[in-house]
Each structure stands twice: as C-alpha cells, then as structure tokens.
Amino acid sequence: MTLPPTRERWGTRVGLILAMAGNAVGLGNFLRFPVQAAQNGGGTFMIPYFVSFLLLGIPLMWIEWGIGRYGGRFGHGTVPGMFDVLTDRRKKWAKYAGVLGLFMPLVVFIYYTYVVSWMLGFSFFSLTGEYFGLGEVQQMRDFLGSYQNLFDSSVHGGWVALLFFLITMSFLGWVLSRGISGGIEKLALIGMPILFLFAFVLMVRVLTLPPAEASPMAGLDFIWSPEWSSLAEPKVWLAAAGQMFFTLSLGMGTIHTYASYLSERDDITLTGLSTGATNEFAEVVLGGTIAIPAAVVFFGVEGAQEIARGGSFDLGIVAMGVVFQGLPGPELLARLTGFLWFFLLFIAGITSAVAQASPAISFLQEGFGWRRRRAVRALMAIGLGIGLLHVVFYPTGFLDEWDYWAGTFGLVIFAAIEIVLFSFVFGIDRGWEELHRGADLQIPPIYKPIMKWVTPAFLYTLLGWWGVTEAVPQFLMEGKDPADIPYLWLSRAVMLVLLVAGLLLVREAWRRREGWSK
C-alpha cells in the first residue's frame, strides 16, 4: 500500500528530523526542565529522568511514530482515523477516543500561541530597551503583570499583548498555509539551527559571567548537586515521568500527524530516536546551562531557589529580564543578549505551535475535503477568537485551567489509551513488525516486553498518582480565589464545547466517508 497521491509529504529526512525536533523542543526545555531538576533532587533527578526516557519516552515516541505512519497509509492524518484502523475498524468507540488527539493539540495551540507571543513581545522590548531601568525583581514582575493584564495600563496599554498575539498568529497562519514541505519543514530548517546557535552563544555567555552573588559554577552546582534521599520519593519519579511528556510532546497527537506524511518504506526507528536525542541535547545540555546558572550568579543560590519556586515565567522572563540589565559591558550588548534569549524561546515555541495546529488542519482537509488554505483560515479564526478569552481573562487563571487539563493531565490519559490500543488491541507482534518496516535501526528486543508491560504500568501508575494527588484538588478548585471561580468554570465550559464539537465533527466526517464509499 502506498500513500494516496493527494497527501502531502516531507521533502527531506533532515527537514523531517528538525520539524519533529522543533515540535519537541519548546519552552519546557529551557524553562521547565531546569526548574524541575532544581526542585526535585538536583543531580539525582537525572536518574529517574533517564529511566523515564528509556522506559516511557522512547517507547511511547516509537509507538506514536508507528501509529502515525500506519494511519497515513490509510489516508488518515489524525488520531481518530488512526485509532480506527488500529482496531481494524471494528471498534466504533476508537475513533471517538481519538478525538483527544484533535482536542488537546487544538486547546494547547490556542493558549500556547498566546504565551509564545509574549516571547516575541519581550524580544522586541529587549531590542528597544523597554524594560531596561527596571533592575528589581518586583519591578520586572509589575512590567510582566501589566503586559499580561489587558485592563492594567500602568506600564503597557492593554493592546500591546494583543498586538503581539495577532502578529504571532498571523505568522503561524502564513507558515501553515504554505504546507508541510513548503512551510513547516522550511521553518524548521531555518529556525532550528538559529535556535541552537543562540542557545550556544547564551550558554557560553552565562558560563563566562564574572561571579557576583555566586559564580556560574555555583549555579551548575545548584542544579546538579545530588540529594540522595529524593530517590526514594515517588513525587520525584513522577515529576521526571511528567517532564518526559512535555519535553517529547508525547500524548498529544502531533507526532502522529507529522509521521502520517511518511510512506511505509520510510524509516521511523532511527529517525524517531534522532529527534528524541536532539530534544534531550537541547534540554539537558543547553536548557540546564542558561537560566538557572544565570539566576544564581545574580541572585545567589537562595534567591534562585525562591525564583524557581515562583515557576517558569518568574525564571524565564522576570529573573532573566533583571539578569540582562546587570550584564557587564555596553547596554547595547546586554539588550542583544536579552533579544537572543527571548527570540530563542519564540523560535522554540513557534516550531511547537505549528505542530499543535497540524492535526486540526489535517482533519479538516481529510474529513471534509477542505483545501489547506481554507482549513488554516478556519483554524486561525478559531485560535484568535478563543485566544482572545485568554488575553482578556489571563489574570483569573483561565489559561492555567487549560494548561492543566489539556496540557498536563490529558496527555497521560491519551497516552494510556493509545498504548493499550497499540500493544493489546492492534497487538504487540503486529506493532513490532510495523515499527520495523523500512527501519534503519533494529530496536533492541528488550523493548518488546517493555512496550507491552513496563510502559503501560508506568503510565497507569502516573495516571493514578496524578489523579489522586493533583486532578481531584484541581477539579474541586482547592485553594483558588473565590472571585476567580466563575472564570475557571467558563474556562472549563469552553474546553467542553470544543471537546463536544470534536466528537460531532468526527461523527460527521465518518458519515461523509461512508457516503463517499457507497
């Protein structure tokens, strides 16, 4: 069986690897990973981290590549169709379960693009020196807070965040409308080398900083010092497993869509491993060597600890904004360094956002026969329309609600479903054979029982743990400001509408498909 002639395809192998790596390398590599490592045992975090990479990340990644390429052979670019063919079209529920692979990337795309647009905004502010002169952490917090709040014009007019959101969304629309090879692949071929170049320059700059509150080496010590007792703590293992989902973009549906543009004779084992390795390099080598060590130099170990507790944006925007102002040398150079950092984050984000947008576009093309440009226009309209809710209601925690249910917990639910379908319904023997079709790399045989037993056990443990310790309190809105609760319910209602719309659209797409086949 070969690809239907109308389906798009990747142009080059390196383009595919960089696009997949672009999907995986995102804000989490440079902001979330160092914070997680620092909060979960330092150097010892890397033990559960690498165990998770080997037992959860790599097997799931290969499975997602395999499901994607397999679905693509039947003309399916999205998960509902892929789950349907995994069950040999015998289980009607499978395509509806696959709606998660449309819903979650769409939801994440909408709020993630808004966050990515902040990075574009701060790239611009760095070049113009807008925040230079705000040398205190609280001043930078106010600067960021005003940017994020449409109704706070103390620093920015509310329209500023909206403007950068519009620019980012327009740029994404332009790239996506140019197609897989002409748009997404070209963005990766240009963007990823720039990202790595900027990251190397920043890493060298941070490591050569003169000691202030502490030295850069003390910063590395802060991240990498082992806390042996943490190895016995379940939360550390689960934090490491969770980081795997974020960093490799697993459990979302984006890898599936990208892999569907391959033919059955194209390798996925070596190519998949290469993208995973590229992501790990960006995370462990580069991500761990920029933000936290820089923060330690300027704020000391205790100050950096406090900042890391405040979360990724406190570290990546607030603390780094103060750091750039304190860099030795001319201000112009400091501004340029700030630009490198925020634009690096913008590239990391934008190459992930195009992947998150792809399942919805592919679904509209294949399920309803829409042309790509029309599908992109529809998606951009939805993204802008619903994205405005995030712009307006951001201070209420509206976005965090989406980030938890779709961008965190939902990933594990989706992966828990797909691994059962792949290993037990489709069958691990057929799955193993499918992964090795056209393979340039023989997967070590130990991975066959790992995919069937170990990875599912790992996943369901993670799901159960998170369900009890996080999902229930989150659902009950424990610790939330009562004034925000109506907005949080609104946030959930919008997600529910999108989920129901996805289910109805899948039903309609299958009705049309059956009509065509008759």
Partner 1 sequence: MEQVNGHEITPFALGFMVVSMTSVTVLVVYCYARILRGGRQLHREADD
Of 115-174, binders to partner 1 (CB under 8 A) are: none
224 interacts with partner 1 by CB under 8 A: yes
Q: Which is nearer to partner 1, 429 or 440 (CB)?
A: 440
Q: How far is the CB of 358 from partner 1 (least distance, A)?
A: 18
Q: How far is the CB of 81 from partner 1 (least distance, A)?
A: 22
Q: How far is the CB of 220 from partner 1 (least distance, A)?
A: 5
Q: Which is nearer to partner 1, 12 or 153 (CB)?
A: 12
Q: What is the DSSP string of 26-51?
A: SHIIIIIHHHHHHHTTBGGGHHHHHH
Distance CA(390)–CA(383), nearest Å, equals 10
Q: How far is the CB of 206 from partner 1 (least distance, A)?
A: 14
Cβ atoms of 314 and 161 within 8 Å: the answer is no
501 interacts with partner 1 by CB under 8 A: no
Distance CA(320)–CA(308), nearest Å, equals 12
Distance CA(209)–CA(477), nearest Å, equals 43
Q: What is the DSSP string of 55-108?
A: IIIHHHHHHHHHHHHHHHHTT--SHHHHHHHHTTT--HHHHHHTTHHHHHHHHH
Q: How far is the CB of 112 from partner 1 (least distance, A)?
A: 25
Q: How far is the CB of 348 from partner 1 (least distance, A)?
A: 17
Q: How far is the CB of 425 from partner 1 (least distance, A)?
A: 29
Of 36-75, binders to partner 1 (CB under 8 A) are: 42-44, 46, 50
The CB-side HSE value for 201 (13 A sphere, CA atoms) comes to 16
Q: How far is the CB of 269 from partner 1 (least distance, A)?
A: 10
Q: What is the DSSP string of 452-465?
A: IIIHHHHHHHHHHH
Site map (CB under 8 A) of partner 1, residues 12-31, x = contact: xx--xx--------------
Q: Which is nearer to partner 1, 74 or 404 (CB)?
A: 74
109 class by beta-carbon count within 10 Å (0-12 exposed, 13-18 middle, 19+ buried): buried
Q: How far is the CB of 59 from partner 1 (least distance, A)?
A: 15
Q: How far is the CB of 215 from partner 1 (least distance, A)?
A: 4
The residue assigned the tokens 């490491």 is 240
412 interacts with partner 1 by CB under 8 A: no
236 interacts with partner 1 by CB under 8 A: no
10 interacts with partner 1 by CB under 8 A: yes
Distance CA(95)–CA(364), nearest Å, equals 15
Q: How far is the CB of 314 from partner 1 (least distance, A)?
A: 20
Among 145, 158, 226, 303, binds partner 1 (CB under 8 A): 226
Among 39, 87, 215, 461, binds partner 1 (CB under 8 A): 215
Of 260-319, binders to partner 1 (CB under 8 A) are: 262-263, 265-267, 270-271, 273-274, 277-278, 280-281, 284-285, 288, 300-301
What sign does the dihedral 120-411-52-256 (CA atoms) show?
Answer: negative
Among 19, 180, 209, 220, binds partner 1 (CB under 8 A): 220
Number of residues this chain uses to bind partner 1 (CB under 8 A) = 46
Closest C-alpha among 466, 468, 447 to residue 63: 447
Q: Which is nearer to partner 1, 225 or 461 (CB)?
A: 225
Site map (CB under 8 A) of partner 1, residues 170-209, x = contact: ----------------------------------------
Q: Which is nearer to partner 1, 91 or 186 (CB)?
A: 186
Among 4, 182, 193, 211, binds partner 1 (CB under 8 A): 211
Closest C-alpha among 115, 155, 151 to residue 133: 155
Q: Which is nearer to partner 1, 140 or 202 (CB)?
A: 202
The CB-side HSE value for 78 (13 A sphere, CA atoms) comes to 32
Distance CA(518)–CA(515), nearest Å, equals 5
> Greatest CA separation found in the chain?
74
452: amino acid identity, one letter: K
List the structure tokens of 345.
């984050």
Of 425-464, binders to partner 1 (CB under 8 A) are: 440-441
Distance CA(386)–CA(383), nearest Å, equals 6
Q: Which is nearer to partner 1, 277 or 382 (CB)?
A: 277
Binding segment toward partner 1, per CB under 8 A, in 8-16, 105-113, 123-131, 417-425: 8-16
Q: Which is nearer to partner 1, 71 or 338 (CB)?
A: 71
Q: Which is nearer to partner 1, 58 or 86 (CB)?
A: 58
Local structure of residue 212 (DSSP, 8 states): S
Closest C-alpha among 101, 98, 100, 103 to residue 85: 98
**Could you give the C-alpha distances from 509 to 84, 275, 482, in angstroms and in order?**
13, 32, 41
Within 8 A by CB and 6+ apart from 500, the residues are none
Closest C-alpha among 287, 305, 152 to residue 141: 152
**Would you tell me which residues interact with partner 1 (CB under 8 A)?**
9-13, 16-17, 42-44, 46, 50, 211, 213-215, 217-218, 220-227, 262-263, 265-267, 270-271, 273-274, 277-278, 280-281, 284-285, 288, 300-301, 440-441
